[in-house]
Structure 1
Amino acid sequence: MNQLDQKINTHFPGLVVRKDLVKAVKGNAIVPTYVLEYLLGQYCATSDEATIQTGIETVKEILAKHYVHRNEASLVRSNIKERGRYKVIDKITVDLNEKTDAYEASFENLGIKKVLVDSATIKQHPKLLVGGVWCICDLEYSFSEDVNTVPWILSSLKPIQLSHFDYEGYLVARSQFTTEEWIDVLLQSIGLNPEAFGRRSKLTQLVRLVPFCERNYNLIELGPKGTGKSHIYSEFSPHATLVSGGEATLAKLFINNTTGKIGLVGYWDVVAMDEFAGSNKKPDIKLIDTLKNYMANKSFNRGTGPQGAEASMVYIGNTSHNVPYMLKHDNLFMDLPETYRNADGQAILDRLHWFVPGWEMENLRSEMFSEGYGFVVDYLAEILRSLRNQDLSDRYNHLFTLSSDISTRDRDGINKTFSGLMKILFPNGEATPEEVEELLRFSIEGRRRVKDQLMRIDQTYGKVRFAYQTKDGRWREVNTLEEEENPNYYHRTSDEAGVDESVSVAHPTRSPDRTKPPVQEGPELREQHLTFQENQKGVSYDMLFGTYLKGAHAVTVTDPYIRMFYQLRNFMEFLETIVKHKAPEDEVDVHLLTIEDEFKAELQQENFEKMKEAAAALGVNFTWEFDGAGAIHARHIVTDTGWKISLDRGLDIFQYYEMNDAFTFANRLQQYRPCKAFEVTYLNVTPGD
C-alpha cells in the first residue's frame, strides 16, 4: 500500500476496499459494482492481505451459490424446491395487483413473478415499486393444487445498501486529509487511478457526483464513446437509475395516469437518460414539456394535480464529430434531436446547470483504473445522499461577487454546481480562498458552456459577461476551454457557421492579468506571458518556441528533469523543433544542463549519446552537462539571439499519452495531446535593450 492507502485504512476502517478486487470476483456476473462492493465490504474491508484473500474466496462462493444467472435460473428454482428454502441475489421489482389487493414481486434473473410481498416491506423499501432494486432474499417453495396460488414465498428481503451512516465521524475523518489527498481518495472510490488524471480532469470526473448530493440538479455530458459517461449512474449507487433513451416515457418518468403510479423521479435521487443524443430521434413533445417544467419548478402535473420530486436529471449522449467541426458547422448541441434545439426544446437546455465536456475525457484504458483503496461505493453513495440536505452555495459571497448581468437562471446553475463541489470536497466548509475561487471558476465555466451554445442557436439570448469581482475590485473573466482552442469559430452563431470560412471572429476581451494567442499560430516575437489550461489541445513545441528559435545558432536548455523515457522523448522532440526552424545549411549548438539520474545514470548517458549522433547528421551539435550539486530548479531556454523563455514545467507540458501505439495521432503529433496546466514567459535579455 502507498501512503494514501494506509491513511484511508487508518481513518475509515471497515469502510474501504481495494478497487481491483471487483474484477477478481465479478467473473461473468452481470451485476452492478455496488452489489459486488457491498459483499466485498462485508468480507474484505481491511488491509490485511490474508483476510482479503479469504474474503475474496467467500464472496466468490456467495456469488457462485446465490447470484442468479439467467441461464441457470431453472437450476436455482430447482434448488429452492428441493431444499424448501434458499437464498438468492437478484434484482426485484414489485407491482400492486389491484384485483387481489396484494403486492407482487418479479425476480428479473430468476424469472418468477407474482411472489407475494407484505405491505410493511413496501413501506420500508418503496423503491421496489419502480425501477427495481438488487436484494438478498430468502425464498421458499410450497406447492398447492390451487392454480391461483403462487408456490413461491418470500420469507425475507434485504436491499443491498448501507444500513447506517455516521456523518459526524465522516467529517472528523475528512479533516485528516489534505485537499489533494481527498480528491485522490474520491477518484479511487469511483474506481479511477488519480495518477492518470490532472487536476482539471479530476474535477471534471467529480462533477458527475454532484447530482447525487444536490437536489434537482440538471447535468448534461456529451462526448465520444468509451469515456465512461454512463458507468457512474448504472454501477455506482443504489440511489440512481439509468434509463435507455428509447425507454423514456411520460408514464415511466413521472406518473402513469392509468394506474396512478408515480414514476422514476419520485423514487430515485438521480435519473440518468442514456443515449440522449441522436439527431434523427423524435422525442415526445408532451415529455419535453413535462421535463421543462420539472427541471425549472421541481414539480410536474399530468392532470392529477401538482407533484413534487427531488430527483436530479442527467443527460448522456455520444458526439459524432470533434469540437472544431461542431463549432465551425453548428454548435456543441448539434448531435441532440432537433426537437431539443428548437424553440420549445431550448428551454430544457437552458435549465441545464452544467455541461460536462466529454471530449476532454480520454477513452478508459487499463492503467486509468485504480488498484488502490477507496470507499465501498454504497458508503460513498450514502455520504452524498446525506449531503443533499445542505446548501453551501453562499460560501463564496464573502470573497467574490458575480457580474450583475449574469441572469438568475445562470446564477442558479453556478451556485448549485459550486454547492455540490463544496459538499464533495469540503463538507466542513474549510476551503482556502484559492480553493473557493477554483471551484467558482469551474462552476461558471460549465454554465457558460451551456449559455454560449444557446446563443449560437438562438440570437435572441442576450450576451452575458461571465465574470466575477474580487473584494479588491479586480474583475476576472471565465472562458471555456473550447473558446481558448477555437477562437475563430467559437463566437459564430449557428447560422453563420460554415458560411464564410474567410471571416475571422475577433477574440473576446480577456482578463487583464492573462493573455493567450490562438493556439493554431505561434506567439508574436515579443516579451509576453502566456497561460495554458489543463486539457488544452493545439499546443506544440513548434507553436511555443519556433518563432523564438529562428536564426539562433546557440541554444541552452536548463531543465533538471530529463531522466525518464518520456522526458527524454520530450527533449528529442525539442531537438526536432530546432531542426524544423533552422536553415539546412546552418548549424546550431544545443547545450543541456540537467541533473544526473540517481539510479539509471548509465542509461541516461547512453540515450544522450544516441540523440547526439542523430542530431549531428542534421546540423545540430548537442552537448550536455550534469549539475554537480543537483540543486538546479529553474527551467528555461536561452538563445544567442537574446531571448530567454522561462517554463514553469520545463518541457514536460503534455499529459500522459500512449507512446507505444504507432496508430494514434497523439503519439505522432504534439498538437493532438492534451496539456497540463503551464505558463511560459518570454524575455528579451539582449544586452543594452
Structure 2
Amino acid sequence: MITPVEMDRLDEIAASVFEGYLVRKDLVRKYARQYPVPTYVVEFLLGRYCASTNEEEIQEGLEIVGKQLKGRTVRTGEEELFKARAREEGSVKLIDIVKARLDAKNDCYVAELPSLNLRDVQIADSLVKENERMLTDGFYTEVTLEYDPIVAQEKNGRPFRIAALRPIQMSSPNVLDVLAKGRQVFTTDEWRDFLIRSIGLEPSVLSERAKMVTMLRMVPFVERNYNLVELGPRGTGKSHLFQQISPYSHLISGGKATVAKMFVNNANGQRGLVCQYDVVCFDEISGISFDQKDGVNIMKGYMASGEFSRGKESIRAEGGIVMVGNFDVDVEQQQRIGHLLSPLPKEMRDDTAFHDRIHAFAPGWDFPKLNPHEHLTNHFGLVSDFLSECWHRLRETSRVHVLQNRVFWGGALSGRDIEAVNKTVSGLLKLLFPDPEMPIPDHDLEWIVRLALESRRRVKEQQKRCLKSEFRNTHFSYKLGADGVEQFVATPELHSDEAIEGDPLPPG
C-alpha cells in the first residue's frame, strides 16, 4: 500500500491540464530501486497504468505495474528460469536491452539479450532496420522471445527468436500540442518548478542558483549539437538526468571511448552514438580517453561543426556532447591551483580551441549534495517518456529569432561566443515556452540571457587562465532594446581579487 500525498497548487494545476500524462515521482523510486531497469522504463509502465491523480486508480495500476516488472525483468540468477519458461510455453515476454550485430558468416543479424546471457538470438532484418540503435549500444524494449525446439536439435541451431519488440518510448504525434496547451496555465516560475519536478527533484528546497543549474542540464535535450560541461562536488546528481530520464540520451561511464563507437565504424560503415542519440554524456570525464590518437581532434571538429569525416564522405549528426566530472577540492581552491576546466583529460584541459567548442559551463558547485529524503520530490510530474518525446521534437526548431531587435550583445563577445549564447537562450526558451506563439516577457528573457552569458563567460575565463594574451577581454554585456542600458554579466565564483581591473563585481 502506498501513502497518499497531499496535493499542492502545482499538482492541482498540472492535474487540470495534463490528465493521463502525470505520474507520482515517489512511485517511480519505489520500483526503480527494486528492479534492474532505468527510471524511464519504470515510468513508461507507470504512465500506462497509473497516469492519474485518483488514489484508487493509482492503486489498481500499481498492482499491474508490480506484476509486469516482477514477471518481465530478469534479476541476477533468474536467467535459466526465463529460458525454461520460453521452452515450456513457446514464448516469454520480458523487458531488456536489445543489442544486435551482423553475423557475416551466415549473412544475418543476431540479437543479444544481456539479462539472459543470450548472444545469438534470431532477429528479422526488418526489425533491425526499423530500430538501428540496437546496432550501437542497444535500447530498452518490451520483447516477445520465442523458443523453437526443432531448431534446438540442429547443429549450431539458434532456438531463441525475437518475434516482436516494442521500444520503450512514446510515439504519439501530437505531444507538443499537449505540452504547449498545458503550459499556458502556468506562470514561468511555476512551469520551471514543474519541469524540475518532472525530472524527479523537489524545487521548493532548491536555491535559485541550483534551479538554474538544473535548467542548463536540460538544454542539450532540446537544442541540436549543444555542448555542455558541468563540474563540481561529488554526489550532486550530475549524470542522473542523462542516464535515467530519456531513451534519447546515452551515458558513457569512465574509461576508453572508441572513435568507431562514438562516430563511425570504418570497417562496416555503422554510424556511432552521436548519430543515434540526442545527447551523449561522458561521466567522470577525467577518466575518459580515446582509443585513437586523433580521437580528441575528431571530437573537437564534430563539436564545432556537427560533422565528421569518414574517408571522403562527410557525415552530419545532431547529438550533443555533455561532459560531467568532479572537483576534488572546493571551487575557490580549484581556481587557486589551476582553472575550472582542469578536471578534463590532459588532451583537453589546456586546449583553448577545445574550450571554445563548449557552449555552456554549468556551475555544479551551486547544486547541493543530493539527500533522497529532502531533494527528491513526492509530487506529480510529467511522465518521462512523454517529456523526453516532447524534448526530442523541440530539437527541430530554433528560437534565436526571439532575440532579434530585442537583445543586443556587447563588443567583448566573439562570433563563437554569440553562437554559444544564442544556442543556450534558444534551448531555455524552448524548455520554458514550448509554444513558439507564446509571448515572452522582457523580465523572463532577461534572466535567460544573463544565465546564457554567465555560463559561456565561465568558459572564457578558463581560456584566459590558459592564454591571457588572447582572451583578455571577458567583459560580457548586453542591452535590452536598442536604447537600453548596457548591462554586464559576471560569473559569481570570480572574486574581485582574481578579476582583471574593471571587471564588474558579481551581484549580491
Q: Confirm or deny that 1:378 pairs with 2:385.
A: yes
Distance 2:124 2:143 in 1: 14
Larger Rg: 1
Work out whether residues 209 and 366 of structure 2, in 8 Å CA contact, stay in contact via their aligned partners in 1. no
- Residue in 2 that maps onto 1:466: 476
Equivalent residue for 2:490, pick from 473, 476, 479: 479
The offset of 1:205, in angstroms, is 0.2
The equivalent position to 1:146 in structure 2, one of 154, 157, 164, is: 154
1:54 pairs with 52, 60, 67, which one?
60
- Bigger drift between 84-93 and 283-292 goes to 283-292
Q: How does 1:273-284 map to 2 (within 5 A)?
A: 273-278=282-287, 284=292
**One-letter amino acid of the counterpart of residue 143, structure 2:** C
Within the alignment, does 1:417 sit opposite 2:424 as a pair?
A: yes
Tell me if the contact between 1:138 and 1:154 (Cα under 8 Å) persists in the aligned partners: yes
Contact 2:36/2:73, CA 8 A, preserved across alignment: no
Contact 1:67/1:88 (CA < 8 Å) preserved in 2?
yes
Tell me the residue number matched to 1:182.
Answer: 191
Q: Identity across aligned pairs (percent)?
A: 36
Decide whether aligned partners of structure 1 residues 223 and 146 sit closer, same or farther in structure 2, where only a CA change above 3 A counts.
same
Deviation at 1:474, TM superposition (A): 1.2
**Hey, what does 2:460 align to over in structure 1?**
451
Amino acid at match of 1:121: L
Give 1:102 deviation, angstroms: 1.3
Q: 1:337 aligns with which of 313, 326, 345?
A: 345
Q: Which residue of 1 aligns with 2:415?
A: 408
Counterpart position of 2:264: 255
Superposed, 1:12-161 pairs within 5 Å as 12-143=18-149, 144=151, 145-161=153-169
Quick check: 320-329 or 236-245, which moved more?
320-329
Deviations 1:149-194 (A, max 9, x none): 2000211111111121422232122111111111111011000011
Deviates more, 1:345-354 or 1:266-275: 345-354
Match of 1:289 in 2: 297
Partner Cα separation in structure 2 for residue 461 and residue 176 of structure 1: 48
Query: Which structure 1 segments of 5+ residues have no match?
Result: 492-505, 517-530, 533-689
Distance 1:287 1:15 in 2: 42
Structure 2 counterpart of 1:254, one-letter code: F
Q: For each residue in 1:296-338, what CA deviation from the matched residue of structure 2 results, as whole angstroms up to 9, or x when unmatched?
A: 1111114252111110110111111111112122111122222
Q: Aligned letter for 2:421?
A: I
List runs of 5+ in structure 2 lacking aligned partners: 1-6
Matched, 1:195 2:204: yes
1:77 is displaced (CA, Å) by 0.9
Partner of 1:497: none
More helix by share: 2
CA apart distance, 1:490: 4.5
The SS at the match of 2:413 is: coil
Say which SS state the counterpart of residue 157 (structure 1) adopts.
strand
Cα deviation code 1:551-610 (max 9, x no counterpart): xxxxxxxxxxxxxxxxxxxxxxxxxxxxxxxxxxxxxxxxxxxxxxxxxxxxxxxxxxxx
TM-score, scaled to structure 1: 0.70
Q: Deviations over 1:16-38 (max 9, x none)?
A: 10000012223432211000000
Question: What one-letter code is carried by the residue in structure 1 that aligns with 2:49?
Answer: Y
Instruction: Find the counterpart in structure 1 of residue 3 from structure 2.
Output: none
Structure 2 CA distance, aligned partners of 1:406 and 1:122?
A: 46
TM-superposition CA deviations, 1:669-689 (whole Å, max 9, x none): xxxxxxxxxxxxxxxxxxxxx
Instruction: Choose from 346, 350, 353 the match for 2:352.
Output: 346
CA distance in 1, matches of 2:352, 2:77: 45
For 1:157, give the aligned amino acid. L
By how many angstroms is 1:466 displaced?
0.5
Is the 8 Å Cα contact of residues 22 and 383 (structure 2) preserved in structure 1?
yes
Q: Does the CA-based 8 Å contact 2:197-2:377 persist in structure 1?
A: yes
What secondary structure, in the 3-state scheme, does the structure 2 residue paired with 1:405 have? coil
Q: Deviations over 1:193-239 (max 9, x none)?
A: 11011333212201111111100000001111100011111101000
SS for the counterpart of 1:409 is helix
Give the partner amino acid of 2:488. E
Q: CA RMSD in A?
A: 1.7
* Structure 2 counterpart SS, 1:204: helix
Determine which structure has greater relative contact order: mean sequence separation of CA pairs < 8 Å that are 6+ residues apart, divided by chain length. Answer: 2
Question: In structure 1, how many angstroms separate the alpha carbons of the residues matched to 2:173 and 2:314?
Answer: 33
Which residue in 2 is equivalent to 1:600?
none
Question: How far apart are the structure 2 equivalents of 1:153 and 1:353?
Answer: 45
For the 8 Å contact 1:248–1:273, the answer to whether it is kept is: no
Quote the offset at 1:283 in angstroms. Answer: 7.3
Deviation at 1:284, TM superposition (A): 4.6
Number of aligned residue pairs: 494
1:549-560 equivalences under 5 Å are none
The CA distance in 2 between the partners of 1:490 and 1:453, in whole Å, is: 12
Aligned to 1:543: none
Aligned to 2:498: 489
Give the 4+ runs in structure 1 shifted more than 4 A.
Answer: 280-284
Whole-Å separation in 2 of the counterparts to 1:509 and 1:457: 18
* Aligned position for 1:269: 278
Q: The residue matched to 1:58 in structure 2 has which SS?
A: helix
* 1:168 counterpart residue number: 177
1:293-372 aligned at under 5 Å gives the runs 293-342=301-350, 345-365=351-371, 366-372=373-379
Q: Does 2:238 correspond to 1:229?
A: yes
Q: Distance in 2 between matches of 1:489 and 1:304?
A: 48
Q: Which amino acid aligns with 2:377?
A: S
What is the correspondence of 1:645-684 to structure 2 with a 5 Å cutoff? none
Compared CA separation, residues 27 and 410, structure 1 to 2 (3 A): closer
Is the contact made by 1:482 and 1:490 (CA closer than 8 Å) also made in structure 2? no
C-alpha spacing 1:373/1:454, structure 2 compared with 1 (3 Å): same
